[in-house]
Structure 1
Amino acid sequence: MKSSNPKNLTMEMVALKAGVSITTVSHVINKTRHVNQETKNAVLRVIKELNYRSAKMSKSTRSNEICIGVILADAREDYYNDMIKAIESVAADYGVSIIFCDSEADFEKEEKNIGLLLGRNVNGLLLAPADADRMPKILKNISIPVVLIDRQYESHNFLSVGINNFQSCYQGAGYMIKMGCKNIGFIGYADPVDTIRKRILGYKAALNEFDSAAIPKVLYLKYNGGDSFPLIKQFIIEEGLDGIICATSSLCAETIEVLDPLDAEMQKKINLLSYDDNRWLNYLKYPVSVISQPVAEIGNAAVENLLQLIEQSNYTRDIKRELLFDTTIIDRIANPLTVLPT
């Protein structure tokens, strides 16, 4: 029997009923990656059975006057650069306007940006929080739909779209151990960034499970803390690391700057794993493996879910929900350009 209220259906519901991941449903709907015919048919059957209509599928019925506000945490990061492109592309496909703001990971600027966008009468917000521990007061009684993207607040009642940061780093650290690393360090931020906190927990959990004798070694850097070169160099040398997990591509770039002038033997000894792939990683003299996030799918799902909430005539604030996508490991250590499922 078909659902009588398809606007209340979500991609998660389709995935659950079809017995596949949310990522797979997204690929089938948006044709972003090949899905084998049997799985594709199963997803399409559920879509038909539930009468599910994605934002793209119902584009023709939407007014072109809808405007979405987007506040990202730091446009300098590769992840957010790619997210901007993804959201712009999706918004164009869906026929809606979009206004971007960059909080530069600053709580006060985030709060100011929210007020600015509300003053422009946006219909909904996509937001990557600057500070996990502080939610702007203006959000607590906001009347328009809000979807969190990539990051979350510690306490909130919104939908959040991203990846499982704990699980992805747990699997990443396990991968490094399987590559033969015995002394793995983690480089992240000391600031209250939700994604980094969970990645550190995943890293520590993997060390505890795969090598109980291993001692976690974490270097906490300030997000906008100036010259981190000497701190990273001291961390690598004093801890005698043979493996490093970088929490972001920016931290990876800084770590590579530190490694470059070191002697060849030390460079050869240290394996790197970072979040978020970039073309320049293919041209380094030593390999950097990557935990790759499906940025296009995350951006697509965030916009789609926000539009579904906007279109609900009886929209009310939701309980906390998470829509998490799968990551992959691009293995450049053992076998260059090999993609491993996570």
Structure 2
Amino acid sequence: MATMKQVAERAGVSISTVSHVINNTRAVSADVRKRVLDIIDEMRYVPSAVARSLKNDKTNTIGVLVPNSSNPYFAELIRWIEDAAFELGYHIILCNTHGGAQKQSAYLRLLMERRIDGLVLVASGADEEHELLLRSHESVPIIQLDRALPGLDADLVLAGQEEGAYRATRHLIELGHRAIACVSGPADLPRSCERVGGFLRAMAEAGIEVPDDDIIRGEFNSAGGLAAFSSLLTRPRRPTAVFVTSDLMAIGGLCAASSAGVRVPAELSVVGYDDICAACYASPPLTTIAPPKREMARLAVGRLIERIRGGGEALRSIALDSALVVRASTAPLY
């Protein structure tokens, strides 16, 4: 691989002149610039990003830490983060925690060692080790996306979970349903609890009592939804509608309903949450709550880069509204 010294020797100029041509840090005559650039092209010289970062103290790299990139919701969020960063001249390093606190801490340490300029954090959960790690790196700007990590003083961009769930449940109530169950994720996940809270608020406002066994919990995936619906649909008192706190769970629920011979929406209305790409291709297409993923990513990356460049002193918490997207999985109760 060619070096800057070899380029300089071939062009008959100093190493500093080659550096000025590459980085546009000082005026260089047109003839010299052309000669240097031609030789760079001929020798296929690639400037060292590591060396440049050591000199400038910037890598133009953002770390992105997410719980699970195989989950379509996070995959779509990552796509918009990457797009927003690229438009502003930054690249991303993506790390998956798979929901594990130890892996989250290890990846946080790795990202800091890679000299990232900033971090987009979609937290898996809190533990003492990574909270101490985050606090020890106050020189690296951090923005929290989609959820807050307790004890971390950093900017936050999210969509209101409780309000979205409330809106989904109100949709079912306005269609005439009263026997409405809720299929949710694990009780130890804050987003799961917030969405159940929105469901319960809407039901309470409508004067509808919710038996304890009408809230069924499972894993935030299609298998978890299939298992929850399989249990729900075998009851003597079957609900006429279900609010599901994840599209993946809802899609699993649609499969369970089909296997049980329960027609959706004629016999059972279903609302999901997240508006993943697959929701509109489900059978039937899924009514769901759509967080503004693209706008969340754009705001988070923009705010982070503002921090990286030394701007924006006051911490901000930005909460965006989610939209109800009505498709064919819900219908009035006749």
Question: What's the TM-score bracket when you normalise by the shorter of the two chains?
Answer: 0.7 to 0.9
Q: Partner amino acid for 1:205?
A: R
Structure 2, gaps ≥5 residues long: 1-55
Q: Matched residue pairs, number? A: 272
In 2, the alpha carbon distance for the partners of 1:167 and 1:228 equals 22
Q: Report matched runs for 1:270-289 at 5 Å.
A: 270-289=268-287
Distance 1:186 1:264, change over 3 A: closer
| Contact 1:207/1:214 (8 A) holds in 2 | yes
In 2, the alpha carbon distance for the partners of 1:122 and 1:220 equals 38
Q: Partner amino acid for 1:176?
A: L
| Contact 2:59/2:115 (8 A) holds in 1 | no
| Contact 1:153/1:194 (8 A) holds in 2 | no
| Contact 1:292/1:330 (8 A) holds in 2 | yes
The Cα of 1:91 is off from its aligned counterpart by: 1.0
1:322 aligns with 2:317: yes
Q: CA RMSD in A?
A: 2.9
Larger relative contact order, structure 1 or 2 (CA cutoff 8 Å, min sep 6): 1
Percent identity between matched residues is 18
Q: Which residue is 1:22 aligned to?
A: none
In 1, the alpha carbon distance for the partners of 2:203 and 2:330 equals 23
The Cα of 1:224 is off from its aligned counterpart by: 8.0
Of 76, 85, 106, the residue aligned with 1:82 is: 76
Distance 1:189 1:230, change over 3 A: closer
Name the SS for the 2:233 alignment partner.
helix
1:118 aligns with 2:112: yes
In 1, the alpha carbon distance for the partners of 2:278 and 2:221 equals 23
The Cα of 1:157 is off from its aligned counterpart by: 2.0
Of 165, 169, 175, the residue aligned with 1:169 is: 165
Q: Which residue is 2:231 aligned to?
A: 234
| Contact 1:73/1:130 (8 A) holds in 2 | yes
Of 165, 189, 196, the residue aligned with 1:193 is: 189
In 1, the alpha carbon distance for the partners of 2:280 and 2:220 equals 26
Distance 1:222 1:288, change over 3 A: closer
Q: Which residue is 1:147 aligned to?
A: 143
Distance 1:280 1:118, change over 3 A: closer
Q: Which residue is 2:90 aligned to?
A: 96
Structure 1, gaps ≥5 residues long: 1-61, 337-342
Q: Which residue is 2:216 aligned to?
A: 219
The Cα of 1:78 is off from its aligned counterpart by: 1.6
Question: Could you give the per-residue CA deviations for residues 81-108 of structure 1, whole angstroms, max 9, x where no partner exists?
Answer: 1111101111110001210111111111
Distance 1:253 1:309, change over 3 A: same
TM-score by length of 2: 0.73
Question: Could you give the per-residue CA deviations for residues 36-67 of structure 1, whole angstroms, max 9, x where no partner exists?
Answer: xxxxxxxxxxxxxxxxxxxxxxxxxx998321
Of 292, 310, 326, the residue aligned with 2:308 is: 310
The Cα of 1:267 is off from its aligned counterpart by: 6.2
Relative to structure 2, which stretch is displaced further, 85-94 or 267-276? 267-276
| Contact 1:64/1:96 (8 A) holds in 2 | no
| Contact 1:132/1:152 (8 A) holds in 2 | no
Q: Partner amino acid for 2:114?
A: R
In 1, the alpha carbon distance for the partners of 2:222 and 2:267 equals 28
Name the SS for the 1:100 alignment partner.
strand
